[in-house]
Amino acid sequence: MGYSSWFAVHAQKHKDIVKKLTLQNYTQEQIIDYFDFQNMVKKEKDFCPLYAKNKKCHEIESLNCYLCACPNFRFSDTGIEKVGGKTKYSFCSIDSKDGRVGIYGEKIHQDCSKCGVAHHRSYVENHFDLDLKKIMNKCEHKELLK
């Protein structure tokens, strides 16, 4: 599954949960609480494949899953640029010190496995919107690879 199709599926799951909560008059704070890993792993088993193993993507004590997809991630399914003969498909827009450039054969992808920036509650509060697509509106790189 490419980045775009993953995000389309993920955004729909996110939207469905947010809709369910807003229909029950959850406040912003309650919605963020609901997306805490400890709650999501019990109540929203289909939201993340790691939930089936009760496993976190990052070892953060209060891991919040509202921004599972990080707003700083930039991607293109067709490639962003050529770097030394390889194709770069994603990068971190803030060049996080905890992120890494992953090289996989001819492909370059951003590796976020050691970066928990978007999983902290304070980050979610500062970037909150009910609509995940609005928060993520800069993520898909639209320029065609030259």
Residue 92 neighbours by CB distance under 10 Å: 20
Q: How many residues bind ligand SF4 (CB under 6 A)?
A: 13
Contact with ligand SF4 (CB under 6 A): which of 110, 123, 135, 136?
A: 110
Contact with ligand SF4 (CB under 6 A): which of 3, 48, 72, 124?
A: 72
Could you give the CA distance from residue 78 to residue 95 in angstroms, rounded to a whole number? 21
Q: Nearest approach, Cβ of 69 to ligand SF4 (angstroms)?
A: 9
Could you give the CA distance from residue 105 to residue 7 in angstroms, rounded to a whole number? 24
CB nearer ligand SF4, residue 46 or residue 98: 98
Q: Nearest approach, Cβ of 113 to ligand SF4 (angstroms)?
A: 9
Q: Which phi and psi (to 5°) does residue 139 adopt?
A: -75, -35
The Cα-based distances of 105 to 23, 26, 90, 108, 110 in angstroms read: 47, 46, 15, 8, 14
The answer to whether residues 98 and 114 touch, using CB atoms and an 8 Å cutoff, is yes
Instruction: Give me Rg for the CA atoms of the chain.
Output: 16
Q: Which stretch binds ligand SF4 (CB under 6 A): 29-37, 79-87, 94-102, 125-133?
A: 94-102
CB nearer ligand SF4, residue 42 or residue 107: 107
Q: Using the rule CB under 6 A, is 70 a contact of ligand SF4?
A: yes
Contacting residues toward ligand SF4, per CB under 6 A: 70, 72-73, 92, 94, 96, 98-99, 110, 112, 115, 117-118
